[in-house]
Structure 1
């Protein structure tokens, strides 16, 4: 398991019902004992909306922020059934490309919610998995 340090940019994989399949950008505030971290989210706020949300998360729910992968929309772009992350509701959600709705928009199907939604390419990224300390793309 990779040790993260204070200030590291990470993503937290939610295991809560209704949020499975989503990743939220955060920063490590402090490593704790027993493979836990205090993180501060970059997009989620407290109930009163005054502060960025902080919480203790297990190391199994945290991964480094993925590297950027460029996709040329004008040349080939995403293909049907490509796994992608779509930015929605303050986080990145894992889905599959089901088609193109315009030159700059794609339809994405989400297994976790059984929904298909259209997104501009600016809110879609190549899905990557963090496995044994390395990044792997699904393409």
Structure 2
């Protein structure tokens, strides 16, 4: 991974149980002087969540550099997705990797291979899945059925 500058928007991969396959949006506050670590402020996660505080603050954490990636480019919202197309679904304050397994109007059924769950989402909660390869964002190849 490359270097990230103060104020840069990134996505943080959490490796904790229950979060595998998710990326949380964050902003880099600083690079720590010793070791490959960054201080980040999450966009959607709050301190002491759920908090009864009337003024909740964004969660700030120290994250290893290998758990941070640049924000993927913003692509136009697709008008449709195809069966088995790889997508990211926004749920529980993060982007989760999955595949399209069905459709009912503008509602899509997404299968998550990390949890083997099938959940439904409006099209507005989905984005095309991109992969970071050698520092470049590339479209993820559509899965093909085994015959």
| TM-score of the aligned structures, taking structure 2 as reference length | 0.87
Residue 71 of structure 1 deviates from its aligned partner by: 4.3
Kindly indicate whether the alpha-carbon contact (under 8 Å) linking 1:21 and 1:94 is maintained by their aligned counterparts in 2: yes
What residue in structure 1 maps to residue 145 of structure 2? Answer: none
Structure 1, unaligned runs of 5 or more: none
- Aligned mate of 2:72, from 46, 66, 69: 66
> How far apart are the structure 2 equivalents of 1:72 and 1:87?
15
Kindly indicate whether the alpha-carbon contact (under 8 Å) linking 1:71 and 1:78 is maintained by their aligned counterparts in 2: no
What residue in structure 2 maps to residue 8 of structure 1? Answer: 8
Kindly indicate whether the alpha-carbon contact (under 8 Å) linking 1:105 and 1:119 is maintained by their aligned counterparts in 2: yes
Residues paired across the two proteins, number: 135
**What CA deviation, in whole Å up to 9, does each residue of 1:73-123 have, x standing for no partner?**
2xxx2111111000000110000000102x211100001111101100100
Cα 1:35–1:111 shift into 2, 3 Å: same
Q: Which SS does the other structure have where 2:7 is aligned?
A: coil
| TM-score of the aligned structures, taking structure 1 as reference length | 0.92
User: How much is the aligned-residue C-alpha RMSD, in angstroms?
Assistant: 1.2
Structure 2, unaligned runs of 5 or more: 142-147
Q: Higher strand share goes to which structure?
A: 1
Structure ID, larger Rg: 2
